[in-house]
Amino acid sequence: MAQTILKVENLHKSYGKTEVIKGVSFEVKKSETKVIIGPSGTGKSTLLRCINQLDYPDKGRVWLEDVEITKPHIDINQIRASIGFVFQSFNLFTHLTALDNVRIGPMRVREMKEEEATKIALEELRRVGLEDKIHHYPAQLSGGQQQRVSIARALAMNPKLILFDEPTSALDPELIGEVLEVMINLAKEEVTMIVVTHEMGFASSVADDIIFMDDGMILEEGPPGKIFKNPKHKRTAKFFSKITQLEGEKAK
Amino acid sequence: MGSLISIELALAFLGLGFVVGIPLAVGEVYGNKLVKNLVVLPIVEFFRSIPALVLLFLFYFGASSLNLSLSPFIAALLAMGFRSAAYQSQIFRGAIKSIDVGQMQAARSIGMSKFKAIRYIILPQALRISIPGWSNEYACVLKDTSLVYALGITELMRQGRYIVARTFGNAILVYVICALIYFIIVHFGVKLLDFLEEKYKIPGYEIKKVTTRV
The residue ranges of every structural domain in chain B are: 2-199
**What's residue A119's pLDDT?**
97
Give the pLDDT of residue A1. Answer: 61
CA A43 – CA A191 distance, rounded (Å) = 24
Residue B3 has pLDDT above 50, yes or no: yes
Distance (Å, rounded) from C-alpha B88 to C-alpha B22? 8
Of A87, A104, A137, the CB nearest to B202: A137
Q: What's the whole-number mean pLDDT along residues B129-141? A: 95
pLDDT at A252: 47
State the ipTM, two decimals. 0.91
CA distance A106 to A126: 17
The per-residue pLDDT for A251 is 52
pLDDT tens, residue by residue, B101-126:
999 999 999 999 999 999 999 999 99
Query: What percentage of chain A reaches a pLDDT higher than 90?
Result: 83
Q: Of the candidates B112, B124, B202, which has its C-beta nearest A109's C-beta? A: B112
Whether residue B1 has pLDDT greater than 80:
no
pLDDT tens-digit map of B12-62: 999 999 999 999 999 999 999 999 999 999 999 999 999 999 999 999 998
Q: What is the pLDDT of residues A124-137, one digit of tens each?
A: 999 999 999 999 99
Give the pLDDT mean for B127-150.
94
Distance between CA atoms of residues A3 and B182, nearest Å: 72
Find chain A residues with C-beta within 8 A of B130's C-beta: none
Cβ-Cβ contacts under 8 Å between A and B: the total is 76
> Cβ A138–B204 below 8 Å, yes or no?
yes
Please state, in angstroms and rounded to a whole number, the distance separating the CA atoms of residues B51 and B150.
13
B102, B106, B202 ranked by CB distance to A139: nearest = B202
Instruction: State the pTM of this model.
Output: 0.89
Task: Express each pLDDT in B163-195 by its tens digit.
Answer: 888 887 688 888 899 999 999 999 999 999 999
Domain B2-199 listed as CATH 1.10.3720.10: yes
Domains of chain A: 1-82+176-252 (3.40.50.300), 91-158 (1.20.1580.10)
Half-sphere exposure of A58 (CA within 13 A, CB side): 14
User: Which residues from chain A sit within 8 angstroms of residue B197, using beta carbons?
Assistant: none
Residue B106 to residue A87, Cβ atoms within 8 A? yes
Residue B70 clears pLDDT 90, i.e. is over it: no
CA A10 to CA B52: how far, in whole Å?
59
- pLDDT, one tens digit per residue, over A146-166 is 999 999 999 999 999 999 999
Asked if the Cβ–Cβ distance from A54 to B105 is below 8 Å, we say yes
pLDDT reading at A115 higher than 90: yes
Given a cut of 80, is residue A247 above it in pLDDT?
A: no
The answer for B 174-203 residues in CB contact with A (under 8 A) is 202-203
Long-range contacts of residues B44-51, Cβ cutoff 8 Å, at least 24 apart:
B44/B86, B44/B89, B44/B90, B45/B86, B46/B86, B47/B82, B47/B83, B47/B85, B47/B86, B47/B87, B48/B83, B48/B86, B48/B87
Contact yes or no for A153 and B110 at CB 8 A: yes
Nearest-angstrom CA–CA distance, A149 and A97: 10
Q: What value does the mean pLDDT take over residues B123-132?
A: 95
